[in-house]
Homo-oligomer: A and B are copies of this chain.
């Protein structure tokens, strides 16, 4: 291991809004040696998340920002490459916040979990069996609380969280309307993920299409966007609606706060609620969600799509690309 090079993607400067290629640089350093009690993880897959925008911005967020000069924070999947710990033998597949790099020397307590679904691709631990699937499962079922026969609307409907939300809502007996950007994603919603209706928010008559599809019957709105899509959906809420705030991908910068149509009257007249959540608050939900999700994947009821970037050189532009909407499905970086 002494000769191994650790390629690291470092935050080079702090962006306002969406981080671009120039905000990162790639450094080559020797692979770290694990300190006593540590293990060495060799990453195979790195995750690319919309939430990374928040992790690198200085504005208030749910975690401290990544320091300038530090390795970019990221979930990753890898295997134990060096270990003296009999609980974590070499070769064990693991996932955790190992960063955008080839190697991470970590305490075993920093490992999020041993990957046990080894009959499924390891990369799923970063998507449908990882934070994306668990987020979808928790947010829809615990915050949205859909009932059979209700109407559920999902924004970023073809994305890694949204596609999971839409499919779980169908499994729970709901009518599900997906909103995605562009005809290719719209068709993927219908043909791969089984939405009842899928709408392209880029269509010039999107608001009319949405009103026609929703008819004021939206019981649950699972939102990853904020912005104009949400503004249109808020006008279609049913009495007692639940709006789940999972992400705000449509808003490039929250400082100062952007203006939008006020929501209070909708919430009052429709006796509705809007609620934000952060999946890191609910670590106990991971195992619950993964049990459902793995069963649905094995049963062919839960489909997923991966958008694989080959090589760490792709990392610096990967978040910006998400916000350009260029990915189809869960974005990942494969290291080997």
Q: Which residue of B lies closest to A263 (CB)?
A: B263
- Measured CB to CB, the closest approach of chain B to A102, in angstroms, equals 32
Please judge, given known A-B contacts A275-B272, A276-B270, A276-B271, whether A264 and B230 are in contact too, CB under 8 Å.
yes
Contacts of A205 in B (CB 8 A): none
Interface: A267 (CB within 8 A): yes
Q: Is the beta-carbon distance between A259 and B260 smaller than 8 angstroms?
A: yes
Q: Is the beta-carbon distance between A245 and B268 smaller than 8 angstroms?
A: yes
Q: Is the beta-carbon distance between B262 and A271 smaller than 8 angstroms?
A: no
User: Scoring A residues 244 to 279 as 1 if CB is less than 8 Å from chain B, else 0, what string do you get?
Assistant: 011110010010011111111111111111111110
Residues from 56 to 111 in A contacting B, C-beta threshold 8 Å = 60-62
Please judge, given known A-B contacts A272-B275, A274-B273, whether A265 and B251 are in contact too, CB under 8 Å.
yes
Q: Please, how many angstroms separate the alpha-carbon atoms of A268 and B261 in the complex? A: 18
Q: Is the beta-carbon distance between B275 and A273 smaller than 8 angstroms?
A: yes
Please judge, given known A-B contacts A260-B260, A262-B259, whether A276 and B269 are in contact too, CB under 8 Å.
yes
Q: Is the beta-carbon distance between A276 and B273 smaller than 8 angstroms?
A: yes
Interface: A21 (CB within 8 A): no
Contacts of A119 in B (CB 8 A): none
